[in-house]
Structure 1
């Protein structure tokens, strides 16, 4: 029991209980907090740390650098070339590589010698040629400058004159010749275009059948083209042959009737054509029935003999 004198009873102050802060603070809080640096100082410190040399031992023992983190926090995936880029690269590199390989292969081969040039050796005659003798030996062009009416067949006895040609025949210019065709205007233009010079004609009539023979002369350089259109067969269905003894001739006999221009009168048509130089022989027959082929061949053969 205490012997100290005790004064009047004074109540002791009530001290509230202090919370135990030791248990509430986590373990990390017990460590002193790192001093926060400004942003500029932190960047300068990081740059200084990067410039410091790394010891060789650390470079040898260090592994590959980790992939940088992506925005989601995971490692960034490796980039891969698309199929289109791979094809484009192959298309660009293929010709270059092929050309290089081809050049290397060709450069390694030995040179191939070119064959010798083949040239015809010029030869000259031992003697000089006489121009006059050479011209005389060359084929002479057919020159028919006389009266073409003398070359026409004579009108057979017992026949009547037709087309007012007379027994000897008559001359025809391009306009008169074109009038015997339905399209006289186009025929006249073709005659002048093909180099028409002159024409002699004779015609006769025996019963209802009419006959006409023409000798048409063109310029020498146009006769070949003129004969290609001179055939004037009336219908599309006909018999085609040759004048006996003349393989270069044409003989045509229509199997269906035709009619005269601007008329309904029908007739059967037959024609024989042959050429000698710049002269064209044309024989026409207009008959009420199919033309007698033997008779047409006979007239054409006899007329050809007069100009051949």
Structure 2
């Protein structure tokens, strides 16, 4: 067969039939795409169900009648319904019974008096705020803290017994608008006494104080110096913070610091 006949026969030949697709062939399309479409439909249905359920719940609650609250249980009031007749009113508290009257009076009179034979050693009476904060390691920080706490006034008394026994008591009063001033002061000083580790304990409670504690510190010894003993007490009574400092070159007994703390607390 010539070349021309081959080309002519190729032009006139019918195209071959396509191969039949077997019945068991997998369907056309991506399985991953169908899976994502199914998950999306489920998520949309869940959101619609949640929104619809919430709306129906609000609708049911809105249609209900409001439930009345139970009555308050007040069978009787503590104070009389009518003022008492003249002459039958209760007598006002005496200064001894009214602790607030004591605190508002002369704070210096509430300080424990110095023992007989003791000599004054330092300020005795009112103390200035500047003089008070100068006793702290950081006077500027102490001044800012005390002003923030609402410090009002300070009464102090210090004395010396013998050659080396020294005692100092401070009554620091805070303003009524700063109810936590005395408490913050007392707990802060107690925290310092505990954290420095010198007392070796968390202190002992002062009887009748609620939160007061006293501390006995171990002796401090250095070559060329006399022994140094110290005891502290920190008590809060209303808006007044009590600080008691005791030092000596001889041992201070637990009874000495405890009894002094209880006596000072008793005067408030």
TM above 0.5: yes
Range with bigger deviation, 281-290 or 202-211: 281-290
- Counterpart CA distance in 2 for 1:99 and 1:186 is 58
Which has the higher relative contact order, 1 or 2, with Cα contacts under 8 A spaced 6 or more apart? Answer: 2
Name the structure 2 match of 1:277: 238
- Counterpart CA distance in 2 for 1:151 and 1:100 is 75
Name the structure 2 match of 1:233: 193
Alignment of 1:40-189 (within 5 A): 74-75=19-20, 80-96=28-44, 117-121=67-71, 130=83, 142-143=100-101, 144-163=103-122, 165=123, 169-189=124-144
Secondary structure at the aligned position of 1:304 is classed as: helix
Contact 2:118 2:159 survives alignment (8 Å): yes
Aligned: 1:293 with 2:254: yes
Name the structure 2 match of 1:250: 213
- Per-residue CA shift, 1:87-117, capped at 9, x if unaligned? 211112223455788979xx9xxx8996961
Alignment size in residue pairs: 225
Compared CA separation, residues 196 and 128, structure 1 to 2 (3 A): same
Unaligned 5+ residue runs, structure 1? 1-23, 37-67
Name the structure 2 match of 1:211: 167
Q: TM-score, normalised by structure 1?
A: 0.58
Q: TM-score, normalised by structure 2?
A: 0.65
Shift of 1:75: 4.9
- Counterpart CA distance in 1 for 2:185 and 2:104 is 24
Compared CA separation, residues 295 and 78, structure 1 to 2 (3 A): closer
- Counterpart CA distance in 2 for 1:96 and 1:283 is 73
Compared CA separation, residues 289 and 91, structure 1 to 2 (3 A): farther
